[in-house]
Amino acid sequence: MLQHTLQHLFDEPSCATNRAKDPKARKQGCGGKPLTPGNAAGGCAFDGAKIVLQPITDAAHLVHGPIACEGNSWDSRHSLSSGPMLYRTGFTTDLSELDVIYGGEKKLYKAIKEIVARYDPPAIFVYQTCVTAMIGDDIAKVCAAATERLGKPVIPVIAPGFVGKKNFGTKLAGEVLLDHVIGTEEPDVTTPTDINLLGEYNVSGDLWNVTPLFERLGIRLLAAITGDARYHDVTKAHRARVNMMVCSQALINVARKMEERWGIPWFEGSFYGVPETSKSLRTIAKMLVDRGAEVSLLKRTEALIAREEARVAEELAPILPALKGKKALLYSGGVKSWSMIAALQWAGMQVIGTSVRKATDDDKRRAAALLGDSGTLWESLPQREMYAKLKAGEADILLSGGRTQYVALKAKTPWMDSNQERHTAYAGYDGTIAFLKGIHKALSNPIWAQVRTPAPWEA
């Protein structure tokens, strides 16, 4: 069954990366080149599936496997909730050696039962892991039995770590939503301005920088998939008029299949930076109007954009002179490869280079166009080289994820988090203000001059 799902995902026709491959390479699977033992980094498919599904805040997320999978990773993602907190509780079957020998299905069923009895969540997502996949626990069967006997959706997430990288796990999670969640309930009312955001996980509250804009425009967010989501909102997402795919390719399969099944048009956009935020709002408005929303939405959107852009410019005016001409090195991936460049250039900064890991050809084209001759695209940038560039002063700041944080700090170079684990929301107009103020705060800290001063006896 898994092999079937996998093959089918590799055939994703909307995926630009996939389309660009010859038929043989396409069969090899998605997520780029195969992993190199001894020189690999990054999360597994299980990690990716968790990133997509865990933000459903009122559901229980149960990991069926040995302690490593949940014990080493629980409550470490910064998707925020405005209400239920159950999603932050770490549930695992914590398999023992005996379970591995005799099979863990019974323990899994009991675990599900205990969760239902104690927490009564609207749904339980059950994650398979490498070891339970290898010993052949039939998670789908256990979940089906539990659903029937306990009268509650118990949803198998078949994305064990060893089937692929994080990116691939996000797609598998998308399939889970399509197979078990989206379209299983009907909303009480629908409006001509109902939209979904796909691939927006409300990291550090990103979503909450955008929802007030929608509210002011009279646009109803039917479901964010899955930031700050409630299970019963996601089930009704199929009645939206427009889907915006926020995080590049991660949930492209969901966008395309929702179009196929329910005729929902979609577009790919970003809320990073002023230009992209405005563009996304315009696109949403136009697509809604095309599907029957009042034409006045277009005008109202333009008015809002004008007001917000003026506000951002005013708020940032005091720090823009300090940012002007400063050089940034971007080590990110996917859609952020280019959307962050635009945000930095808007503030007058120069981007000396960006990594284009996990980026589609289209992402790369956009990044290259923005950089022009002044910056480089890296497929990957080994830490040693990154360190050398920073040590040599080629960039004033590194924007990256936590894993490369210390490459910058050990080179005594300012760093700012631009990834999943960050603690500040950077989406929308308010996010752009926070993003650029964050860069300014990092650059202007007085420690840099001090820590770069050699000891008096060494000078």
Q: Which 61-80 positions form the footprint of another protein (CB under 8 A)?
A: 62, 65-76
User: Out of 31, 121, 161, 205, which residue is the one contacting another protein (CB under 8 A)?
Assistant: 161
Q: Is 131 in the site for another protein (CB under 8 A)?
A: yes
Helix (H), strand (E) at residue 108 = helix 105-119
User: Out of 388, 441, 444, 453, which residue is the one contacting another protein (CB under 8 A)?
Assistant: 388
Beta partners for residue 223, in sequence order? 196
Tokens of residue 9, six digits:
């995902």
Closest listed residue to residue 112, CA positions, set 150, 86, 148 = 150
Min. distance of Cβ 97 from another protein in angstroms?
Answer: 5
Total residue count of the chain as it appears in this document: 459
Size of the site for another protein (CB under 8 A): 73
Place of tokens 């002007």: 324
Q: Which region, left, alpha or beta, applies to residue 136 given φ > 0 means left and ψ of -120 to 50 means alpha? A: left
User: Out of 162, 186, 294, 374, which residue is the one contacting another protein (CB under 8 A)?
Assistant: 162
At a CB cut-off of 8 Å and minimum separation 6, what does 63 contact? 46, 69, 70, 90, 91, 92, 93, 127, 129
Residues 18-37 that bind another protein (CB under 8 A): 34-37
The three-point CA angle 240-269-25 to 5° equals 100
Min. distance of Cβ 258 from another protein in angstroms?
Answer: 28
Q: Is 450 in the site for another protein (CB under 8 A)?
A: no
Q: Is 215 in the site for another protein (CB under 8 A)?
A: no
- Integer-rounded Cα Rg, in Å, for the chain is 23
Q: Is 170 in the site for another protein (CB under 8 A)?
A: no
Residues 282-301 that bind another protein (CB under 8 A): none
User: Out of 5, 14, 89, 376, which residue is the one contacting another protein (CB under 8 A)?
Assistant: 89
Backbone angles phi, psi at 351, to 5 degrees: -105, 115
User: Out of 303, 311, 402, 444, which residue is the one contacting another protein (CB under 8 A)?
Assistant: 402
Residues 416-435 that bind another protein (CB under 8 A): 421
Q: Is 334 in the site for another protein (CB under 8 A)?
A: no
Longest dimension (CA), the chain: 75
Q: Is 44 in the site for another protein (CB under 8 A)?
A: yes
Q: Is 39 in the site for another protein (CB under 8 A)?
A: yes
Min. distance of Cβ 456 from another protein in angstroms?
Answer: 17
Q: Is 356 in the site for another protein (CB under 8 A)?
A: no
Min. distance of Cβ 410 from another protein in angstroms?
Answer: 6
Min. distance of Cβ 249 from another protein in angstroms?
Answer: 20
Q: Give the span between the Cα atoms of 262 and 240, in whole angstroms.
A: 9
Q: Give the span between the Cα atoms of 431 and 274, in whole angstroms.
A: 9
Q: Is 444 in the site for another protein (CB under 8 A)?
A: no
Q: Is 149 in the site for another protein (CB under 8 A)?
A: no
Q: Taking contact as CB under 8 A, which single stretch among the options 110-118, 183-191, 328-336, 369-377 is the one that binds another protein?
A: 110-118
* Contact between residue 191 and residue 220 where contact means Cβ atoms under 8 Å apart: yes
Min. distance of Cβ 138 from another protein in angstroms?
Answer: 17
User: Out of 412, 424, 437, 448, which residue is the one contacting another protein (CB under 8 A)?
Assistant: 412
User: Out of 1, 33, 40, 456, which residue is the one contacting another protein (CB under 8 A)?
Assistant: 40
Half-sphere exposure of 459 (CA within 13 A, CB side): 5
Q: Is 381 in the site for another protein (CB under 8 A)?
A: no
Backbone angles phi, psi at 359, to 5 degrees: -100, 150
Q: Is 263 in the site for another protein (CB under 8 A)?
A: no
Q: Helix or strand or coil: residue 260?
A: helix
Closest listed residue to residue 415, CA positions, set 439, 391, 449 = 439
Q: Is 92 in the site for another protein (CB under 8 A)?
A: yes
Tokens of residue 270, six digits:
């970003």
User: Out of 55, 121, 156, 160, which residue is the one contacting another protein (CB under 8 A)?
Assistant: 160
